[in-house]
Amino acid sequence: MHNTNHNMTKFNLEAFAENFANYGFQLNVAFETILCITDRFNEPEMPTEVYFRFQGTPLRWINGTGELMPILVVPIASIADGSSERTYELVLKFQSWAISTYRLPIRQSSMVSGPKRLAPILAQTRHTGLLWKPLDIQNLNMGIVRSDKEWAARHLFRDGMNSDSVLYKFFCYFKIILLPFVLVNRNGIEYLDHNKFDAWVAEQYRFSLDVNAEFSSNMGSLTPGGYLRQLRNAIGHVETLSDGTPALSSGNPADTHKLNKALPFVRGLAEEVIRLKCMV
């Protein structure tokens, strides 16, 4: 018999009242993930719940169990002034930040809002067993992001990590590595500096531990940056490219194999861009 309710005796009423005092409602989001959050990293057991501030808002994370998914609880001041939309935007930012910081999938499973209360509004049964990946919030700059461009990178990383499609994963990571090389000319028009992009990718290629022999062989005479652009273009088109490169298809095992050989390198580049705050 599975337990489909959280253990109410382990919830901290005082912490709940203190953190959510100025709010009348809450949004509960259940996540399919192995992530557990702790503020007591040296203790053997994961806490039932953790409170922390993210982007200036108090959040409550209820860790999952062997039967239940973890739940993020976000307070809402009012449901009549657009707060619900802003709250969900905060959920997406937290999800993107956590995924791009800790490098593991965190997929939304279900979501419901209502008046605030100590007990979670929902309890979502876990589809897989519990394997903890603890995240110590005391050792991280929780939610500190310096620019819209960095948020764009983290949102793309979220989409790539959560996708089961190698084509979409590659596409998301490739878009991230382009972000630092988007410049604006004197007329206010954005353009991509291909020369700087190619030079940076080539430098990363020299020292990368994510490059395998098959990936290097598939490049042929192309530069690393040129080869990544070719793969991206082959993903984005349904017809043969002007250079003779055939379009890539998720239904072709040879195409997915080729992308899987390139994926560790392009993902590593995306992680480096995020680590450097998009300031390559």
Inform me whether the pLDDT recorded for 41 exceeds 80: no
| DSSP helix/strand/coil, 110 | strand
For residue 114, pLDDT beyond 60: yes
- Model confidence at 136, pLDDT cuts 50, 70, 90, reads low
- CA-based angle 56:138:127, to the nearest 5? 85
pLDDT(128) > 90: no
The answer on pLDDT for 1 being more than 50 is no
Query: pLDDT band at residue 36, thresholds of 50, 70 and 90?
Result: confident
Strand, helix or coil for residue 167: helix
Buried b (16+ CB within 10 A) or exposed e, 236-248: eeeeeeeeeeeeb
Q: Is 114 helix (H, G, I), strand (E, B) or coil?
A: strand
Most confident option among 39-48, 65-74, 254-263: 254-263
CA distance 16 to 70: 17
What is the rounded distance in angstroms from the CA atom of residue 132 to the CA atom of residue 66? 10
Task: Reply yes or no on whether the pLDDT at 110 is more than 90.
Answer: yes
Residue 234, pLDDT > 90, answer: yes
The identity of residue 205, as a single letter, is Y
- DSSP H stretches of helix in 64-133: 83-102
Write out 23-61 in H/E/C secondary structure.
CCEEEEEEEECCEEEECCCCCCCCCCEEEEEECCEEEEE
| Reported confidence tier of residue 125, pLDDT bands at 50, 70, 90 | confident
* Domain locations along the chain: 8-139, 148-275
Q: Can you tell me the distance from the alpha carbon of 16 to that of 62, in angstroms, rounded to the nearest whole number? A: 12
Question: What pLDDT is stored for residue 262 in this prediction?
Answer: 97
pLDDT above 90 (res 85): no
Does the pLDDT of residue 253 top 80, yes or no?
yes
- Classify residue 82 as exposed, middle or buried by CB count within 10 Å of its CB (0-12, 13-18, 19+): exposed
- State the Cα–Cα distance between residues 206 and 251, nearest whole angstrom: 32
pLDDT tops 60 at residue 139: no
Beta strand extents in the chain (DSSP E only): 25-32, 35-38, 49-54, 57-62, 71-76, 107-115, 133-136, 182-184, 190-192
Let me know if 159 is exposed, middle or buried by CB neighbors in 10 A (0-12, 13-18, 19+).
middle
Can you tell me the distance from the alpha carbon of 259 to that of 41, in angstroms, rounded to the nearest whole number? 37
